[in-house]
Structure 1
Amino acid sequence: MAAHRKPRQRPLTGPAARTAATLTLAGAASATAFQGVGHAEPRLTPAQVKTQVDKLYQEAEAATEKYDGAKEKAAASEKSLRSLRDQAARRTAQLNTARSALGSTASAQYRNGAIDPSLQVFLSSDPAQYLDRAAYVERVGDQQAAEVTGVRRQIGQLAQLHSEADTALSGLRTQQTDLKKQKTTVQSKIRAAEALLSRLSAPERSRYESQYESQQESQPESQQDPLGNDRSAAPQAADRSAVRGPVTAPGSRAARAVAFAYSALGKPYVWGATGPSSFDCSGLTQAAYRSAGVSLPRTTYTQINSGQRVNRSELAPGDLVFFFSGISHVGIYVGNGQMIHAPHPGAPVRLAPIDQMPFAGATRPVAGT
């Protein structure tokens, strides 16, 4: 019976080998091509890029305001912690001085010996003088007891200071963690926006910038803004004042703030910056009013509560105008429907219409001054 054997494989040589190699390479190239098609990024139109970039910059702005708030809290906590530590150091020095004084008194008593008072009277050559001294010693003893009580109180106060310092340190670390988180968010949004813009050709990038600067697009508006301000009564009255010429600020401080904003035109946007060479949006408004002697809080969501609320139809130069439902952007109104603001990275401080973004409300930091 014949044995069944597997045919022996012979290596291909000559033309057959070349044909097989060609087919193998062709198959690999086809597979690579299909993989490349599967992973290729879709081609976005310039309009789609603009929409996505604007959204990323707005999200970066919101994260920037949270970063500014966390930075302000961390700075306050750090200052509080330094103060607590300074107090603890001073109290420790006072405590050590008091303890040293008590130790000296105790040592003196030990050296003199603790003799029974009646025996000391008996042994004294001048009992009357001794009784006088005894009364003095008693008063000294009362004073020493008060000093002991004072030392105990200082120990308790020092422990309280250490506890408060520990709490402040814990809060500071939490705020620093939040600060890093917001910083990472801002940076990731900006990088994503820059990556999208890099996909535009030079002419397309130029058109994107010109579209942003011309601000020909208007945003739809409802009768009430996100903060409940009524827009129904002549909502564009303040915006159409350009036909009547320049608008004067209602007070000297508002005028100085507006003048500062004009002087900042062209300076770069840098997130977290408050001047004098660069700004983010709330950093610009804070710096403008600081130049006028008015202290504003650091963030958009706190600045909006820093003065008198005004309706859009009542806007006057110097008013702060806020945008988006999360109150994540602010500019300073300068009249004629225009504001000066720090838009986003890559866009310097500029003049723009307030119709550029969804209006959220307005605040007048000072009135008639």
Structure 2
Amino acid sequence: MSTPRRSPLPGVHRIARALAITAAATGVLGAAVAGTAEAAPEPPSRKDVKAQVDQLYDEAEQASEKFNAAQEAQQRLQAETNRLLDEVATGQDGLNRLRGELGAVAAAEYRSGGLDPTVQLMLSSDPAGYLNRARSLDQAAARQADTLHELVDRQRGLDQRRAETAAKLTELDRVRQSLTASKREVQQRLAKAQKLLDSLGAAERARLTAQDAEEAESRATRGTDRLDLGNQPASSDRAAAALAAAVAKVGSPYVYGSTGPRTFDCSGLMYWSWRQAGVSLPRTSQEQAHAGQRISLAEARPGDLVIFYKDAHHVGMYAGGGVVVHAPYPGAKVRYESVSAMPVSGVVRV
């Protein structure tokens, strides 16, 4: 006997339908929220951006010093190449002149028939006159031999100059390629840094710049409200003049590859400042690290160069009181900084 099917309670179908619709809507909403979260990740914090930008600026400065070195080498090689090319041109003119002289002598011999001197004497109607001319011819032949030796020597020297010129041109091409690569590397690092900074927005960027300047000032003043450089004298009158020139540029913008007078990179500031004191320093921080007497940091006096980092890619000038004046990196200006803010690799007294 079959059991009669019990009818569902009134409203059950409506409730079930409502629950199903609600569940479906909730699922769609949840997926949409998840998708939105993935599409809009949380923006990087100012601290994270600063750390990454500092790293990129450091890498850019390393590339910038490579760029400076390549630019310096290019100028030197170009000057040497131009000198060699001038020597080759002058040498070729000299060779052409000597060849002309020898050619004239050879033509004269041809016109005389190239007879043996004894036969010419026998056929001569004026033997005494012929002998006088023969002595002159002997002297001319000796001069001709000297000219021939000179021609050979000059040709050898000219060939050597041409080989040197070719080598210089090859080296110059390699340096130009290095210059281009270093410039591209600097630009790439700076572009990445700028992209990171742009992710913060104008207000955050301004706060980051202000914070960086305040922290540098705090390090230089040891947290006080004034800068104390002490009263230690400079190592020389020229060092004092160089320091005065550098200090006068506090507030000037950093621009890579620049040696002033309005913008500077780190080694460019040292190069320009010492030029004002009548001293020509090498262009790069790595070369400046060998531009004078190496001393310890404890012996540093105002005007001395302080070389930073193991690869010597940054340099500042000791101002006294444990403080240097330097051009820090793009976006910052020439300023005072505690000497302990970066690892010191050496101090140089010019």
**CA shift at 1:354, angstroms?**
1.9
Quote the residue 2:59 is aligned against: 59
Quote the residue 1:276 is aligned against: 261
Q: Return 176-185 or 134-143, whichever deviates more.
A: 134-143
What do the CA deviations read for 1:37-88 (whole angstroms, capped 9, x no partner)?
5565652111111111111111111111111111111111111111110000
TM-score, length-normalised on structure 1? 0.79
Instruction: Supply the distance in 2 between the matched residues of 1:110 and 1:135 (Cα, whole angstroms).
Output: 19
What do the CA deviations read for 1:283-322 (whole angstroms, capped 9, x no partner)?
1101111211222111111111211222222221101112
Matched-pair contact (CA < 8 Å) for 1:215–1:356: no
Quote the residue 1:225 is aligned against: none
- The one-letter code of the counterpart of 1:107 is A
Instruction: Supply the distance in 2 between the matched residues of 1:143 and 1:83 (Cα, whole angstroms).
Output: 31
Gapped regions of structure 2 (runs ≥ 5): 1-23, 220-226
Correspondence 1:49 to 2:49: yes
Instruction: Supply the distance in 1 between the matched residues of 2:151 and 2:39 (Cα, whole angstroms).
Output: 74
- The one-letter code of the counterpart of 2:49 is V
Matches within 5 A, 1:8-47: 34=35, 38=38, 43-47=43-47
Instruction: Supply the distance in 1 between the matched residues of 2:185 and 2:135 (Cα, whole angstroms).
Output: 75
Matched-pair contact (CA < 8 Å) for 2:304–2:347: yes
Gapped regions of structure 1 (runs ≥ 5): 1-22, 220-241
Correspondence 1:311 to 2:303: no
Residues 339 and 244 of structure 1: CA distance in aligned 2, closer, same or farther (over 3 Å): closer
- The one-letter code of the counterpart of 1:257 is A
Count of paired positions = 317
Quote the residue 1:214 is aligned against: 214
Matches within 5 A, 1:1-369: 34=35, 38=38, 43-215=43-215, 245-365=230-350
Query: Relative to total residues, which structure has the larger helix share, 1 or 2?
Result: 2
What do the CA deviations read for 1:252-298 (whole angstroms, capped 9, x no partner)?
10100011101222222111111222211001101111211222111
Instruction: Supply the distance in 2 between the matched residues of 1:142 and 1:32 (Cα, whole angstroms).
Output: 104
Matched-pair contact (CA < 8 Å) for 1:282–1:298: yes
- The one-letter code of the counterpart of 2:296 is N
Instruction: Supply the distance in 1 between the matched residues of 2:55 and 2:187 (Cα, whole angstroms).
Output: 14
Residues 31 and 204 of structure 1: CA distance in aligned 2, closer, same or farther (over 3 Å): closer
**CA shift at 1:100, angstroms?**
1.0
TM-score, length-normalised on structure 2? 0.83
Instruction: Supply the distance in 2 between the matched residues of 1:197 and 1:316 (Cα, whole angstroms).
Output: 37
**Partner SS, residue 211 of structure 2:** helix
**Structure index of larger Rg:** 2
Instruction: Supply the distance in 2 between the matched residues of 1:359 and 1:329 (Cα, whole angstroms).
Output: 9
Identity %: 40
Matched-pair contact (CA < 8 Å) for 1:218–1:355: no
What do the CA deviations read for 1:120-154 (whole angstroms, capped 9, x no partner)?
21222221221222122112112112212211222
Runs (4+) of structure 1 exceeding 4 A deviation are 30-33, 36-42, 216-219, 242-245
**Partner SS, residue 215 of structure 1:** helix
**CA shift at 1:118, angstroms?**
2.1
- The one-letter code of the counterpart of 2:146 is A
